[in-house]
Structure 1
Amino acid sequence: MRKLIYGMNLTLDGYISAAGDDIGWSDPSDELFQWWLDEERAIGLLLYGRKLWETMSSYWPTGDQQPNATPAEIEFARNWRDTPKVVFSSSMEKVDWNTRLVTGDAVAEITRLKADDGEPMRVGGATFAGAAMRAGLIDEYTIVTHPVLVGGGTPFFTALDSWVNLNLVETRTFPGGVVLTRYETRR
Protein backbone atom coordinates (compact mmCIF):
# COMPACT_ATOMS: atom_id res chain seq x y z
CA MET A 1 0.00 0.00 0.00
CA ARG A 2 1.29 3.46 -0.91
CA LYS A 3 1.71 6.19 1.67
CA LEU A 4 -0.15 9.49 1.15
CA ILE A 5 1.62 12.61 2.42
CA TYR A 6 0.10 16.08 2.75
CA GLY A 7 2.68 18.78 3.28
CA MET A 8 3.09 22.43 2.46
CA ASN A 9 4.57 25.70 3.68
CA LEU A 10 2.19 27.58 5.94
CA THR A 11 2.00 30.60 8.17
CA LEU A 12 2.03 30.40 11.96
CA ASP A 13 -1.71 31.11 11.90
CA GLY A 14 -2.27 28.14 9.58
CA TYR A 15 -2.63 29.50 6.04
CA ILE A 16 -0.93 28.25 2.87
CA SER A 17 -1.64 31.59 1.19
CA ALA A 18 -2.77 34.97 2.41
CA ALA A 19 -5.79 36.78 1.00
CA GLY A 20 -5.65 37.05 -2.79
CA ASP A 21 -3.56 33.84 -3.01
CA ASP A 22 -0.49 35.81 -1.87
CA ILE A 23 2.43 33.51 -0.99
CA GLY A 24 5.07 36.25 -0.83
CA TRP A 25 5.74 35.36 2.81
CA SER A 26 7.02 31.87 1.89
CA ASP A 27 10.37 32.59 0.21
CA PRO A 28 12.45 29.57 1.31
CA SER A 29 16.06 29.65 2.40
CA ASP A 30 18.49 27.64 0.29
CA GLU A 31 18.51 24.97 3.02
CA LEU A 32 14.70 24.70 3.07
CA PHE A 33 14.49 24.63 -0.72
CA GLN A 34 17.04 21.79 -0.79
CA TRP A 35 15.02 19.94 1.86
CA TRP A 36 11.86 20.23 -0.27
CA LEU A 37 13.82 19.00 -3.31
CA ASP A 38 15.07 15.97 -1.38
CA GLU A 39 11.50 15.25 -0.22
CA GLU A 40 10.13 15.51 -3.76
CA ARG A 41 12.77 13.12 -5.10
CA ALA A 42 11.30 10.42 -2.82
CA ILE A 43 7.77 10.93 -4.16
CA GLY A 44 6.50 8.56 -6.84
CA LEU A 45 3.27 10.37 -7.70
CA LEU A 46 2.08 13.94 -7.20
CA LEU A 47 -1.66 14.53 -6.72
CA TYR A 48 -2.88 18.09 -7.37
CA GLY A 49 -6.10 19.97 -7.31
CA ARG A 50 -6.69 22.45 -10.14
CA LYS A 51 -5.47 25.54 -8.32
CA LEU A 52 -2.10 24.16 -7.20
CA TRP A 53 -1.65 22.52 -10.62
CA GLU A 54 -2.09 25.90 -12.28
CA THR A 55 0.46 27.45 -9.92
CA MET A 56 3.06 24.71 -10.36
CA SER A 57 2.59 24.27 -14.11
CA SER A 58 2.90 28.01 -14.72
CA TYR A 59 6.54 27.99 -13.58
CA TRP A 60 8.21 24.60 -13.11
CA PRO A 61 8.10 23.23 -16.68
CA THR A 62 10.73 25.84 -17.57
CA GLY A 63 12.05 26.66 -14.08
CA ASP A 64 15.44 25.22 -15.01
CA GLN A 65 15.72 27.67 -17.92
CA GLN A 66 15.30 30.84 -15.84
CA PRO A 67 18.39 33.08 -15.96
CA ASN A 68 19.02 33.10 -12.19
CA ALA A 69 18.00 29.50 -11.46
CA THR A 70 20.09 27.89 -8.74
CA PRO A 71 21.34 24.31 -9.12
CA ALA A 72 18.61 23.17 -6.67
CA GLU A 73 15.92 24.99 -8.69
CA ILE A 74 17.21 23.40 -11.89
CA GLU A 75 17.03 19.96 -10.29
CA PHE A 76 13.58 20.67 -8.81
CA ALA A 77 12.23 21.65 -12.23
CA ARG A 78 13.64 18.51 -13.84
CA ASN A 79 12.31 16.31 -11.05
CA TRP A 80 8.91 18.00 -11.27
CA ARG A 81 8.67 17.33 -15.00
CA ASP A 82 9.79 13.70 -14.59
CA THR A 83 7.54 12.79 -11.66
CA PRO A 84 4.15 11.37 -12.69
CA LYS A 85 1.27 13.62 -11.69
CA VAL A 86 -2.50 13.31 -11.42
CA VAL A 87 -4.64 16.45 -11.52
CA PHE A 88 -8.18 16.28 -10.16
CA SER A 89 -10.52 18.81 -11.73
CA SER A 90 -14.03 18.91 -13.11
CA SER A 91 -13.38 22.13 -15.05
CA MET A 92 -10.10 21.38 -16.86
CA GLU A 93 -9.92 19.63 -20.20
CA LYS A 94 -6.18 19.07 -20.70
CA VAL A 95 -2.93 18.71 -18.73
CA ASP A 96 0.70 18.29 -19.81
CA TRP A 97 4.11 17.31 -18.42
CA ASN A 98 3.76 13.65 -17.46
CA THR A 99 0.28 14.26 -16.04
CA ARG A 100 -3.07 12.50 -16.13
CA LEU A 101 -6.40 14.30 -15.60
CA VAL A 102 -9.13 12.81 -13.40
CA THR A 103 -12.56 14.44 -13.59
CA GLY A 104 -14.47 11.91 -11.48
CA ASP A 105 -14.59 10.95 -7.80
CA ALA A 106 -11.27 12.05 -6.26
CA VAL A 107 -11.65 10.05 -3.06
CA ALA A 108 -12.33 6.84 -4.98
CA GLU A 109 -9.32 7.42 -7.25
CA ILE A 110 -6.97 8.25 -4.35
CA THR A 111 -8.18 5.13 -2.53
CA ARG A 112 -7.42 3.06 -5.66
CA LEU A 113 -3.97 4.64 -6.04
CA LYS A 114 -3.14 4.03 -2.36
CA ALA A 115 -3.96 0.33 -2.77
CA ASP A 116 -1.14 -0.02 -5.33
CA ASP A 117 2.45 -0.77 -4.42
CA GLY A 118 4.96 1.97 -5.01
CA GLU A 119 6.70 5.04 -3.74
CA PRO A 120 4.83 7.55 -1.57
CA MET A 121 2.34 9.99 -3.07
CA ARG A 122 2.05 13.66 -2.14
CA VAL A 123 -1.30 15.43 -2.20
CA GLY A 124 -1.08 19.18 -2.76
CA GLY A 125 -3.52 22.02 -2.55
CA ALA A 126 -5.50 22.72 0.61
CA THR A 127 -8.99 22.43 -0.86
CA PHE A 128 -8.21 19.21 -2.69
CA ALA A 129 -6.24 17.75 0.25
CA GLY A 130 -9.20 18.56 2.49
CA ALA A 131 -11.28 15.91 0.70
CA ALA A 132 -8.55 13.31 1.29
CA MET A 133 -8.23 14.47 4.90
CA ARG A 134 -11.99 14.14 5.57
CA ALA A 135 -11.93 10.66 3.99
CA GLY A 136 -9.12 9.56 6.34
CA LEU A 137 -6.66 8.94 3.50
CA ILE A 138 -3.71 11.05 4.73
CA ASP A 139 -0.92 8.98 6.31
CA GLU A 140 1.49 11.81 7.06
CA TYR A 141 1.29 15.57 7.59
CA THR A 142 4.45 17.55 6.82
CA ILE A 143 4.00 21.06 8.17
CA VAL A 144 6.63 23.70 7.38
CA THR A 145 5.65 26.71 9.50
CA HIS A 146 6.98 30.16 8.68
CA PRO A 147 7.10 32.81 11.44
CA VAL A 148 4.51 35.14 9.97
CA LEU A 149 0.85 35.88 10.71
CA VAL A 150 -1.30 36.83 7.72
CA GLY A 151 -4.72 36.93 9.38
CA GLY A 152 -6.63 35.07 6.67
CA GLY A 153 -6.45 33.32 3.34
CA THR A 154 -6.48 29.64 2.41
CA PRO A 155 -6.17 27.41 5.50
CA PHE A 156 -3.93 24.33 5.50
CA PHE A 157 -6.45 22.28 7.48
CA THR A 158 -10.11 21.67 6.71
CA ALA A 159 -13.05 21.10 9.04
CA LEU A 160 -13.24 17.43 10.02
CA ASP A 161 -16.11 15.20 11.14
CA SER A 162 -13.98 13.52 13.83
CA TRP A 163 -10.61 13.78 15.50
CA VAL A 164 -7.45 12.51 13.84
CA ASN A 165 -4.80 11.38 16.32
CA LEU A 166 -1.20 11.88 15.23
CA ASN A 167 2.28 10.82 16.29
CA LEU A 168 5.11 13.35 16.06
CA VAL A 169 7.95 11.73 14.08
CA GLU A 170 10.25 14.65 13.27
CA THR A 171 11.00 18.27 14.07
CA ARG A 172 13.64 20.48 12.50
CA THR A 173 14.45 24.19 12.42
CA PHE A 174 15.54 26.02 9.28
CA PRO A 175 17.07 29.49 8.84
CA GLY A 176 14.73 32.38 9.49
CA GLY A 177 12.86 30.58 12.27
CA VAL A 178 11.04 28.18 9.93
CA VAL A 179 10.04 24.99 11.75
CA LEU A 180 9.26 21.59 10.25
CA THR A 181 6.96 19.23 12.11
CA ARG A 182 6.11 15.86 10.64
CA TYR A 183 3.27 13.73 11.99
CA GLU A 184 2.03 10.26 11.09
CA THR A 185 -1.63 9.36 11.42
CA ARG A 186 -2.36 6.87 14.19
CA ARG A 187 -4.40 4.02 12.75
Structure 2
Amino acid sequence: MRKLAFAMNVSLDGYTAAPGDNLGWSAPSDELFQWWSDRVGSTGLALYGRKLWETMSSHWPTADQQPDATPAEIEFARRWRDMPKVVFSSTKSTVDWNTRLVTGDAVTEITRLKADDGGSMDIGGATLAAAAMRAGLIDEYAIVTHPVLVGGGTPFFTTLDNWVNLSLIETRMFPGGVVLTRYETRR
Protein backbone atom coordinates (compact mmCIF):
# COMPACT_ATOMS: atom_id res chain seq x y z
CA MET A 1 0.00 0.00 0.00
CA ARG A 2 1.30 3.44 -0.94
CA LYS A 3 1.82 6.22 1.58
CA LEU A 4 0.09 9.58 0.90
CA ALA A 5 1.68 12.82 2.17
CA PHE A 6 0.35 16.37 2.11
CA ALA A 7 3.30 18.78 1.90
CA MET A 8 3.00 22.54 1.39
CA ASN A 9 4.49 25.88 2.34
CA VAL A 10 2.31 27.42 5.06
CA SER A 11 2.17 30.86 6.68
CA LEU A 12 2.43 30.94 10.47
CA ASP A 13 -1.32 31.64 10.60
CA GLY A 14 -2.05 28.49 8.59
CA TYR A 15 -2.51 29.52 4.95
CA THR A 16 -1.01 27.99 1.79
CA ALA A 17 -1.85 31.12 -0.23
CA ALA A 18 -2.64 34.67 0.85
CA PRO A 19 -5.75 36.46 -0.45
CA GLY A 20 -5.76 36.60 -4.25
CA ASP A 21 -3.73 33.36 -4.37
CA ASN A 22 -0.61 35.39 -3.55
CA LEU A 23 2.41 33.14 -2.91
CA GLY A 24 5.04 35.89 -2.75
CA TRP A 25 5.60 35.32 0.96
CA SER A 26 6.84 31.74 0.41
CA ALA A 27 9.95 32.31 -1.74
CA PRO A 28 12.36 29.55 -0.63
CA SER A 29 15.98 29.84 0.38
CA ASP A 30 18.43 27.77 -1.68
CA GLU A 31 18.45 25.11 1.05
CA LEU A 32 14.65 24.89 1.16
CA PHE A 33 14.40 24.85 -2.63
CA GLN A 34 16.81 21.88 -2.65
CA TRP A 35 14.64 20.11 -0.04
CA TRP A 36 11.58 20.56 -2.27
CA SER A 37 13.56 19.39 -5.32
CA ASP A 38 14.77 16.26 -3.51
CA ARG A 39 11.19 15.58 -2.43
CA VAL A 40 9.99 15.80 -6.04
CA GLY A 41 12.86 13.53 -7.09
CA SER A 42 11.80 10.84 -4.60
CA THR A 43 8.03 11.04 -5.13
CA GLY A 44 6.53 8.03 -6.89
CA LEU A 45 3.35 9.89 -7.90
CA ALA A 46 2.16 13.46 -7.39
CA LEU A 47 -1.55 14.25 -7.09
CA TYR A 48 -2.56 17.79 -8.06
CA GLY A 49 -5.72 19.81 -7.80
CA ARG A 50 -6.51 22.01 -10.80
CA LYS A 51 -5.31 25.34 -9.39
CA LEU A 52 -1.94 24.04 -8.18
CA TRP A 53 -1.51 22.16 -11.47
CA GLU A 54 -2.09 25.37 -13.42
CA THR A 55 0.46 27.21 -11.26
CA MET A 56 3.11 24.49 -11.61
CA SER A 57 2.51 23.70 -15.28
CA SER A 58 2.65 27.38 -16.26
CA HIS A 59 6.32 27.55 -15.21
CA TRP A 60 8.19 24.28 -14.63
CA PRO A 61 7.87 22.50 -18.01
CA THR A 62 10.21 25.06 -19.63
CA ALA A 63 11.92 26.66 -16.62
CA ASP A 64 15.18 24.89 -17.43
CA GLN A 65 15.26 26.57 -20.86
CA GLN A 66 15.22 30.11 -19.46
CA PRO A 67 18.54 31.96 -19.95
CA ASP A 68 18.74 32.87 -16.25
CA ALA A 69 17.83 29.40 -14.92
CA THR A 70 20.04 28.30 -12.04
CA PRO A 71 21.42 24.74 -11.82
CA ALA A 72 18.91 24.07 -9.00
CA GLU A 73 15.99 25.29 -11.15
CA ILE A 74 17.19 23.17 -14.07
CA GLU A 75 17.33 20.10 -11.82
CA PHE A 76 13.88 20.80 -10.33
CA ALA A 77 12.32 21.32 -13.78
CA ARG A 78 13.71 18.00 -15.01
CA ARG A 79 12.57 16.16 -11.89
CA TRP A 80 9.12 17.76 -12.09
CA ARG A 81 8.63 16.81 -15.76
CA ASP A 82 9.81 13.23 -15.14
CA MET A 83 7.69 12.66 -12.02
CA PRO A 84 4.42 10.81 -12.74
CA LYS A 85 1.47 13.08 -11.98
CA VAL A 86 -2.32 12.85 -11.73
CA VAL A 87 -4.44 15.99 -12.03
CA PHE A 88 -7.96 16.00 -10.60
CA SER A 89 -10.25 18.43 -12.41
CA SER A 90 -13.78 18.60 -13.74
CA THR A 91 -12.93 21.56 -16.00
CA LYS A 92 -9.60 20.62 -17.65
CA SER A 93 -9.70 18.52 -20.80
CA THR A 94 -5.98 17.86 -21.36
CA VAL A 95 -2.75 17.67 -19.38
CA ASP A 96 0.87 17.12 -20.40
CA TRP A 97 4.31 16.25 -18.98
CA ASN A 98 3.94 12.68 -17.73
CA THR A 99 0.48 13.45 -16.35
CA ARG A 100 -2.90 11.72 -16.34
CA LEU A 101 -6.23 13.54 -15.92
CA VAL A 102 -8.99 12.30 -13.59
CA THR A 103 -12.41 13.93 -13.92
CA GLY A 104 -14.35 11.56 -11.64
CA ASP A 105 -14.57 11.25 -7.87
CA ALA A 106 -11.20 12.15 -6.34
CA VAL A 107 -11.61 10.18 -3.09
CA THR A 108 -12.45 6.98 -4.99
CA GLU A 109 -9.42 7.38 -7.28
CA ILE A 110 -7.02 8.31 -4.45
CA THR A 111 -8.20 5.26 -2.49
CA ARG A 112 -7.53 3.08 -5.55
CA LEU A 113 -4.09 4.64 -6.09
CA LYS A 114 -3.12 4.10 -2.44
CA ALA A 115 -3.93 0.40 -2.78
CA ASP A 116 -1.55 0.08 -5.77
CA ASP A 117 2.08 -0.87 -5.55
CA GLY A 118 4.61 1.87 -6.11
CA GLY A 119 6.45 4.68 -4.44
CA SER A 120 5.08 7.28 -2.08
CA MET A 121 2.51 9.81 -3.23
CA ASP A 122 2.36 13.55 -2.53
CA ILE A 123 -0.91 15.45 -2.72
CA GLY A 124 -0.99 19.16 -3.46
CA GLY A 125 -3.72 21.71 -3.71
CA ALA A 126 -5.90 22.74 -0.79
CA THR A 127 -9.25 21.57 -2.16
CA LEU A 128 -7.99 18.17 -3.27
CA ALA A 129 -6.04 17.65 -0.04
CA ALA A 130 -9.10 18.67 2.00
CA ALA A 131 -11.16 15.91 0.37
CA ALA A 132 -8.43 13.35 1.10
CA MET A 133 -8.05 14.69 4.66
CA ARG A 134 -11.79 14.37 5.38
CA ALA A 135 -11.73 10.82 3.97
CA GLY A 136 -8.84 9.85 6.28
CA LEU A 137 -6.48 9.09 3.40
CA ILE A 138 -3.47 11.23 4.39
CA ASP A 139 -0.66 9.34 6.13
CA GLU A 140 1.78 12.23 6.58
CA TYR A 141 1.67 16.01 6.87
CA ALA A 142 4.84 17.92 5.94
CA ILE A 143 4.29 21.53 7.00
CA VAL A 144 6.90 24.05 5.88
CA THR A 145 6.05 27.05 8.08
CA HIS A 146 7.21 30.51 7.02
CA PRO A 147 7.45 33.29 9.63
CA VAL A 148 4.75 35.50 8.13
CA LEU A 149 1.13 36.25 8.98
CA VAL A 150 -0.93 36.70 5.80
CA GLY A 151 -4.27 37.25 7.53
CA GLY A 152 -6.41 35.02 5.32
CA GLY A 153 -6.47 33.10 2.08
CA THR A 154 -6.41 29.36 1.44
CA PRO A 155 -6.11 27.33 4.66
CA PHE A 156 -3.79 24.32 4.89
CA PHE A 157 -6.23 22.38 7.08
CA THR A 158 -9.91 21.81 6.42
CA THR A 159 -12.72 21.43 8.91
CA LEU A 160 -12.88 17.82 10.09
CA ASP A 161 -15.64 15.75 11.68
CA ASN A 162 -13.22 13.84 13.92
CA TRP A 163 -9.85 14.35 15.54
CA VAL A 164 -6.78 13.03 13.74
CA ASN A 165 -3.99 12.04 16.11
CA LEU A 166 -0.48 12.61 14.79
CA SER A 167 3.06 11.69 15.79
CA LEU A 168 5.94 14.09 15.16
CA ILE A 169 8.56 12.36 12.99
CA GLU A 170 10.87 15.23 11.96
CA THR A 171 11.68 18.87 12.59
CA ARG A 172 14.19 20.92 10.64
CA MET A 173 15.17 24.57 10.52
CA PHE A 174 15.84 26.40 7.24
CA PRO A 175 17.32 29.87 6.69
CA GLY A 176 15.03 32.81 7.33
CA GLY A 177 13.25 31.18 10.26
CA VAL A 178 11.41 28.61 8.13
CA VAL A 179 10.60 25.42 10.04
CA LEU A 180 9.70 22.00 8.64
CA THR A 181 7.55 19.76 10.83
CA ARG A 182 6.54 16.32 9.62
CA TYR A 183 3.78 14.35 11.30
CA GLU A 184 2.58 10.81 10.71
CA THR A 185 -1.07 9.90 11.15
CA ARG A 186 -1.59 7.47 14.03
CA ARG A 187 -4.02 4.75 12.98
- C-alpha separation between the residues in 1 aligned to 2:108 and 2:119? 19
Residue 40 of structure 1 and its aligned partner are, at CA, apart by: 1.2
1:113-166 deviations in Å (ceiling 9; x for gaps):
000111100000011100000000000000000000000000011111100000
Aligned to 2:38: 38
Decide which moves more: 63-72 or 39-48. Answer: 63-72
Gaps of at least 5 residues in structure 1 are: none
CA deviation digits over 1:11-60, x for unaligned, max 9? 00000110000000011000000011111111010100100000000000
1:105 and 2:105 matched = yes
Unaligned runs of 5+ in 2: none
Is 1:172–2:172 an aligned residue pair?
A: yes
State the alpha-carbon separation in 2 of the partners of residues 159 and 91 from structure 1.
25
Q: What amino acid sits opposite 1:20 in the alignment?
A: G
Alignment coverage as a number of residue pairs? 187
- Could you tell me the percent identity over the aligned residues? 79
Quote the RMSD (CA, aligned, Å): 0.6
TM-score (structure 1 length as normaliser) = 0.99
- How many angstroms does 1:67 deviate by? 1.9
Partner secondary structure for residue 7 of structure 1: strand
Distance 1:182 1:143 in 2: 6
- Give the match's secondary structure for 2:61: helix
Q: CA deviation at 1:69?
A: 1.4
For residue 183 of structure 1, what is the aligned residue in structure 2?
183
Residue 164 of structure 1 aligns with an amino acid whose one-letter code is V
Moved more, 143-152 or 90-99: 90-99
Determine the structure 1 residue equivalent to 2:21.
21
